[in-house]
Structure 1
Amino acid sequence: MNENPADLAPELCVLIAAVLGLVNGLFLPRTQQWRVAVICAAGLVAGLAAAGVAATRADLMAFDAFMIDPITHVTRIAVLGSTLLAVVLAARPVHGHPRESEHYVLILLSALGTIALGATSDLLVLVAAYLLASIPAYALAGFGKDAPGTEAALKYYLMGALLGVLMLGGVTLLFGVGRGTGYPVLRAGFADAPSAAVAVGVVALLAGLLFKAGAVPGHFWVPDVTQGAPPAIAAYVTTVPKIGAFAALYRFGAETLPDGWPVVVAVVAAATMTLGNLAAFGQDNVRRLLAYSTVSQAGYLLVPVAMAGRTDLAEPAVLYYVAAYAVTNLGAFAVVLATGRDDLAGYTGLLRGSPLVGLSLVVCLLGFIGTPPTAVFVGKVLMFGAALDGDYAWLAVVAAVNTVASVFYYLRWIVPLFGRQPSCDTIHPSRSAAAVAVAAAVVSVALGIGSGIALAAS
């Protein structure tokens, strides 16, 4: 494979935009800080264009540790597109903030680390990407500086630091027994290594990646950050880092791990989706409901990850599902940001007061369930197919039961939208957030309808 720095054009666009945004923010007056948002958005659009061009080329390797293949292409496009929507969502809430420019720069740097997380095939780069994706997110979670935001950011940081240390310990152990850090070298080295040492190293490494994915047992930060952080940041941290985490988990499993990997991840997947659904049942706060929804979705996404190397359906399942989840989750959070309501009762009559926003929320919530023709429906079909084709029928049954159970708490949010009480008559939705919600709903349906073309092209 050829090595060419130009193959990193999408990442360079994001990095240049972040640097330019930071430099401009030093000199712009507070009333003009919005220009940094324009710079960052332009960098993301340029990165999306470069990622689209790169997706049409043959697979490459950049600097022996950065793979440019279908996993990287989907990670790039999903991360850059989701980050662009997150920047749009954040523009109005942070306008005029003393640290407005830093807000956008932190988002871009975290997104850059997330892309590297999903593209790397080397443990050392994986650790560096984990830190780059995490540290800016810790600062963003506490950006509001109010009591809930500060507490949420502290929990987020402490859990990330703890599991990050475990991850570093796992990397050290795997380096010792595998005699290298590159995935191909590790796969060969694990064949002669003590199985107990490999197992301990893998579990420790998974601790960090499962934290980024918001899966059990690293999920405890999700509800607190989702409720305590600013809504736009809650949308970002529950969406974008997961993209890189699941891409990294799949790549590590497919390219490195020996037998025994599917059992561990399958058990974690079943526990994650079940716990997320059970915890979501009694939530009246929509942000906490969405938080536990993201946990349950992480469980579904772990199913094709567990099937890495066992079936050809695993890769398209995890890639399509993660893209579908990203657009659906951002759409739901955009509605929360547009309405400014956190309680379920506050959404009564939303379809009458704001039909487009209400309809967008219905599409996104039905999408989470897996209702056709939304994108998540296609992702779930592929997920069930991967589990069955990989001889894990029990996991497919667990996922099916959880999917049916999730209908209850999503309907608790959908039913009030059709109510007659004029609770939402006084709501004047933010235009930018409403536009993001509508766009996300349209993209979700388009991805579902056009899934045949997209999967055939891949």
Structure 2
Amino acid sequence: MPVADLLPELMVLIGAAAIVVSASFLPHRLHWLCAVAAIAILLASSVVVLLRWDNAAQLTFFGVWALDGGAGFAKLLIFGSAIVASALSPQWMATDRRHGEYYGLVLFAVLGSVMMAAAADTMELIVGILLSSVTGYALAGYHRQWSPAQEAAMKYFLIGALANALLVVGVVLLFGLTGATGYSELTVALAADPDPWVMTVAFVLILIGLAFKLGATPVHMWMPDVAQAAPAPVAALVTVISKVGAAIALARFAMLLPGNLAWPWVIALMATLTMTWGNLAALWQTNLRRLLGWSAVSQSGYALMAIVVIGAVDQALAALLVFLAGYAVANLAAFSAVVYLRGRTELDDYRGLARERPWTAAVIILALLSFLGLPPLVGFFGKLLLFSVVIEGGYAWLAVVAVVNTVVSLFYYLRVIATLVLPRQDQGAADMGWPAGLTMTVTGGMILGLGLWANGLINLAQSAMLFLPE
């Protein structure tokens, strides 16, 4: 077992354990050091991933773990998102007696999402999803004295219990059908044309399990609740890393499926329902955080577009990665502004923000316009690539559905922007201080910066390939 192949993951695992132990001995006033430690661990892990970027794609640990560009890109997005969430958390969590332990949970959640993205075995995939889910439940309900947070965590848990159980049943059916759990063995077994009915049921059940982590219909209802009621740094983290891990996992799994199974049409239908439901539900929201949660649901539908043509169009994976990068940066920027404003929730609380705090309002506007796909912001290039690959793959109707949904989303994004610029008497509300302000500034700048560096981002995504078993 080449342990060094898992150096980034081992650094996160050992660091998480060390933080949990250290938090038991540090006085509460020094628990912010755990945030510094978490950020240092994540930065070091990201450096290791970058240093290995040009290594040949391969499977390791007896074929259960993928070392390829797709997993590497996902790790960079997941680690970067966790760095932002950790930087936003010290002042938000300052009065919580379990402040230090929180960063250990963040790192365990990161590890679960990384396992989803890198899993090349269905059993490994289950472990990653369960680790991501268990830590997500705890993080969502971290404010245990606040009933909305407990409600969000309970809904997350109940939906997750059902979806994860269905996933396990699907994996068991697949194992009974093929006698294999590793993706290399599954590729050979599925090519032998096994029973199509059992294969269809197994695929649908596994798809539901992955859709839960992706925040896609029909198991998406946890995402707006968590976005609204979980601690704001947790909402920023969970709505990104679980989506990134699940999207790469689904893309990897879909490439194994035989051509006689109509799986692209199933995922295309899921994409249509997800983006439509998310956008229509967001139209009626008067709570900014819940609106961002429904927006995250709709963004899952766009991500599924690339998976519909994965393996059939060369640029499908690159389109998915660029889109996920744009979504991650914009979502983190929007939630960073929420944290900086000490968790303002209702839209009316943001009335006149453009005059009261122009830079904060500018970051929110940049994030919303990036979600919408306005050039030259990074979200534009992700959507442009998505539309081009689905049209090339023969799903022009799906691109039309996505364009219509983009027009629908314009209404609620513009409603938020209009609220920001409407006049209001300055109330001089307090903010969360310079760490959150700096984080918000950096993530807001990255929305424009990555858009201006779009060629570099696209080239990086194009160099990231998924390992294909022979």
TM-score, normalised via structure 2 length = 0.94
Shift of 1:400: 0.5
Shift of 1:429: 4.9
Distance 2:429 2:120 in 1: 52
1:395 equivalent in alignment to 2:398: yes
Asked if structure 2 preserves the Cα contact closer than 8 Å seen for 1:61 and 1:68, the reply is yes
Q: How does 1:286-325 map to 2 (within 5 A)?
A: 286-325=288-327
Q: Does 1:405 align with 2:403?
A: no
Query: Which structure 2 residues correspond to residues 41-120 of structure 1 after superposition, within 5 A?
Result: 41-63=39-61, 64-120=63-119
Q: How many residues align?
A: 456
Q: Is the contact between residue 277 and residue 293 of structure 1 (CA under 8 Å) also seen in structure 2?
A: yes
Aligned partners of 2:95, 2:26: CA distance in 1, in Å? 12
The one-letter amino acid paired with 2:429 is T
- More contact order relative to length (CA 8 Å, sep ≥ 6): 2
Per-residue Cα deviation, 1:392-451 (whole angstroms, up to 9, x for no partner):
011000001001110000011111222232345434353222222221121121221212
* Match of residue 459 from structure 2: 456
Q: Is 1:383 aligned to residue 382 of structure 2?
A: no
Q: Does 1:227 align with 2:225?
A: no
CA offsets 1:238-267 (integer angstroms, 9 cap, x no match): 111111010101111123454411100000
1:178 aligns with 2:181: no
Equivalence for 1:260 = 262
Aligned twin of 2:120: 121
Q: Distance in 1 between matches of 2:300 and 2:81?
A: 17
* More off after superposition, 115-124 vs 432-441: 432-441
* Preserved contact between residue 33 and residue 96 of structure 1 (Cα < 8 Å): no
Give the AA of the match of 1:172: V
Match of residue 20 from structure 1: 18
Contact kept in structure 1, 2:322 and 2:457, CA below 8 Å: no
Does the 8 Å CA contact 1:313/1:385 hold for their aligned counterparts? no
1:245 corresponding residue in structure 2: 246
Partner in structure 2 of residue 421 of structure 1: 424
Superposed displacement of residue 278, structure 1: 0.3
Question: Following the alignment from structure 1 to structure 2, what is the Cα–Cα distance between the partners of residues 15 and 125?
Answer: 16
How far apart, CA to CA, are the structure 1 residues paired with 2:446 and 2:349?
A: 26
Q: Sequence identity of aligned pairs in percent?
A: 40
Structure 1 distance, partners of 2:187, 2:57, is: 21
Amino acid corresponding to residue 107 of structure 1 in structure 2: V
Q: Is the 8 A contact 1:184 1:256 kept in 2?
A: no
CA offset digits 1:187-220 (Å, max 9, x no partner)? 2212331101000001111111100000000101
Alpha-carbon separation, structure 2, partners of 1:427 and 1:317: 40
Contact 1:325 1:368 (8 Å CA) reproduced? yes
Secondary structure of 2:92's aligned partner? coil
**Bigger mean CA deviation after superposition, 269-278 or 441-450:** 441-450
> Take 2:429 and 2:65, find their aligned partners in 1: how far apart are those partners?
51
Gapped runs of 5+ residues in structure 2? 464-470
Bigger CA drift: 341-350 or 245-254? 341-350
- 1:65-92 alpha-carbon deviations (Å, 9 max, x no partner): 1111111111110000001101111121
C-alpha displacement at 1:20, in angstroms? 1.2
CA gap 1:72/1:177 in 2 versus in 1, 3 angstroms: same
| Distance in 2 (alpha carbons) for counterparts of 1:51 and 1:179 | 33
Structure 1 counterpart of 2:115, one-letter code? A
SS in structure 1 at match of 2:397: helix
Separation in 2, partners of 1:448, 1:178: 45
Paired amino acid for 2:153:
A
Once the 2 structures are TM-superposed, how far is the Cα of residue 158 of structure 1 from its aligned partner? 1.1
Q: 2:331 aligns with which of 325, 329, 332?
A: 329
| Helix, strand or coil at the partner of 1:61 | strand
Tell me the amino acid that sits aligned with residue 453 of structure 1: G
String of CA shifts for 1:313-366, please: whole Å, max 9, x gaps. Answer: 210011111111111101111111111311112112212222221111111010
Is the Cα contact below 8 Å between 2:268 and 2:398 reproduced in 1?
yes
Given residue 174 of structure 1, which amino acid in structure 2 is its aligned partner?
Answer: L
Q: Distance in 2 between matches of 1:168 and 1:112?
A: 20
Counterpart of 2:450 in structure 1 is: 447
Q: Is the 8 A contact 1:351 1:358 kept in 2?
A: yes
Q: Which residue of structure 2 lines up, in the alignment, with residue 344 of structure 1?
A: 347
Which residue does 1:137 correspond to in 2? Answer: 136
- Once residues 390 and 447 of structure 1 are traced to their aligned partners in structure 2, the CA distance between those partners, rounded to angstroms, is 27
**How large is the Cα RMSD of the aligned pairs?**
1.4
AA partner of residue 136 (structure 2):
A
2:159 is equivalent to residue 156 of structure 1: no
SS at match of 1:181: coil
Q: Report which stretch shifted further, 264-273 or 421-430.
A: 421-430
Q: Does 1:438 align with 2:438?
A: no
- Name the residue aligned to 1:32: 30
What CA deviation, in whole Å up to 9, does each residue of 1:67-122 have, x standing for no partner? Answer: 11111111110000001101111121111421112211011001011011001111
SS at match of 1:67: strand
Match of 2:188 in 1: 188
